[in-house]
Amino acid sequence: MVDLKIRVYKSGEAEPETTITIPGGILKMAADLIPKQAADALHSKGIDLDEIVRLAENPDVRGTLVEIEEHKKGGRLVVALD
């Protein structure tokens, strides 16, 4: 299984302000531990955790899954399997 990486960028920055890495080996368990409120917030942005876990099980799937740019807040969120 590949790792899930969530990178948070400030507006105009090339390097992420924050990187969250969830190792592939514990991704399914970690997804079950995410609070419902956080899972709902991800879902509201079109991010389906169950689908990410399913994709992470496929060794052929790698790279950026979703990139969200929040222009008014001046930030960017990248969810990737690496």
| Count of alpha carbons within 13 angstroms of residue 65, beta-carbon side | 23
Q: What is the mean pLDDT of residues 26-40?
A: 82
Q: What is the mean pLDDT of residues 24-33?
A: 86
Number of structural domains (the chain) is 1
% pLDDT > 70, the chain: 100
Asked if the model's pLDDT at residue 71 lies above 90, the reply is no
69-75 — which CB contacts under 8 Å span 24+ positions?
74/10, 74/11, 74/12, 75/8, 75/9, 75/10, 75/11
Please state the pTM of the whole predicted model: 0.80
Its domain, for residue 13, covers 4-81
Asked if the model's pLDDT at residue 69 lies above 80, the reply is yes
